[in-house]
Structure 1
């Protein structure tokens, strides 16, 4: 079980970030929405307080933090306590799985991606939003991680890392988009979503499960 203490103890600080950085938050929502196909049954793994699932019409979320799940529930999300590395869902039961700012907190990203593959239907989509380790914001977070109650627990990944791990887990056709092109404090309005990666700090990758793994 991952260390949930910061999310239990500093819940107000976590929630305040979204209020203080509304243009960044709304830009991230825009990027996720641009990469989400139509779906009938979706789940967010690492749902946190439901800040992404609720506005994106994902009605089911999983997280290891009871306090985060309480807030998600208040936002209308059906919640399940659990971890990404051992998902309590049946095989091929979803056509969309989303993780947003979650992969950096996983204990075992390879196992988590295999579990996502297992619960997705063939043709289902896995949408991941994360801070690119090699981006300006990613480098800043790493430099300041020892003084940040959340990111001192984090392991950051590059786009190349994530694409490789997706393919190893049985996903294909990864498509990248990017945004957040300046320091967070300088983002004053919603930013554009651009294709590719390498300039934006927030990257969304969408990949498809083509068939069940052998």
Structure 2
């Protein structure tokens, strides 16, 4: 498996290294986005494509009582996220293996769902967005956070498992899935798209 193959589904030694480097690289984006997302003080939050679980740890510090579910298709990511959040595993944090396109969540059960730098790797984002909509409570929020990257790089060629979307394309897909009150925030190459289930 090549280094770039690990972007969407980290495996082996390279995958382990990828999880650490991705967190460091994505830290400014995560901090910027988390300043703009309302993390509930109570209720349930799911982080899809949770990677090494660092954003779960950051959100834990922002909420007194909310419970968090991390979900990732990569075994390496699940293990790393469990390790990073080990003090809260079995208490306020659960990390599971799974796909955004087929969520195991009950209908109307999650208050906030986040997706940091992961939608680019979903094979069927429209299906995933419908699953997310189904899983959210009324007035629940879905937040997509991405770094569009250097516009001069052909990312799809460099990372074949990746499909880049603009913030506007994400917003259109959210609208098609039933989301309302959709907003777009941008800063340089970063974007945050939020939609609500009304």
Same fold (TM > 0.5)? yes
CA distance in 2, matches of 1:120, 1:97: 8
Shift of 1:145: 4.6
Partner of 1:75: 84
Partner of 1:139: 151
Partner of 2:59, secondary structure, is: coil
1:87 aligns with 2:103: yes
Count of residue pairs the alignment pairs up: 175
Partner of 2:58: 55
- Provide structure 2 residue ranges, at least 5 long, that are not aligned to the other structure: 61-66, 86-92
Q: Deviation per CA, 1:156-188, whole angstroms, max 9, x where unpaired?
A: 001111110000001011122222xxxxxxxxx
Q: Deviation per CA, 1:120-157, whole angstroms, max 9, x where unpaired?
A: 0010010110133xxxx25244x25544xxx3210000
Which of 11, 15, 24 is 2:20 aligned to? 15
Partner of 1:209: 197
Which of 36, 41, 46 is 2:44 aligned to? 41
Shift of 1:16: 2.3
Shift of 1:109: 0.5
Shift of 1:35: 2.4
Task: Answer 1 or 2: higher relative contact order, Cα 8 Å, separation at least 6.
Answer: 1
Partner of 1:185: none
Partner of 2:115: 99
Q: Which runs of 4+ in 1 moved over 3 A?
A: 144-147
Partner of 1:111, secondary structure, is: helix
- Provide structure 1 residue ranges, at least 5 long, that are not aligned to the other structure: 180-199
Q: Is the 8 A contact 2:143 2:195 kept in 1?
A: yes
Partner of 1:126, secondary structure, is: strand
Partner of 1:118: 134
CA distance in 2, matches of 1:92, 1:129: 22
CA distance in 1, matches of 2:18, 2:31: 23
Partner of 1:67, secondary structure, is: helix
Q: Deviation per CA, 1:191-213, whole angstroms, max 9, x where unpaired?
A: xxxxxxxxx21101111111xxx
CA distance in 1, matches of 2:46, 2:77: 16
Q: Is the 8 A contact 2:53 2:80 kept in 1?
A: yes
Scaled by the length of structure 2, the TM-score of the pair is 0.81
RMSD over aligned CA atoms reads: 2.0
Scaled by the length of structure 1, the TM-score of the pair is 0.75
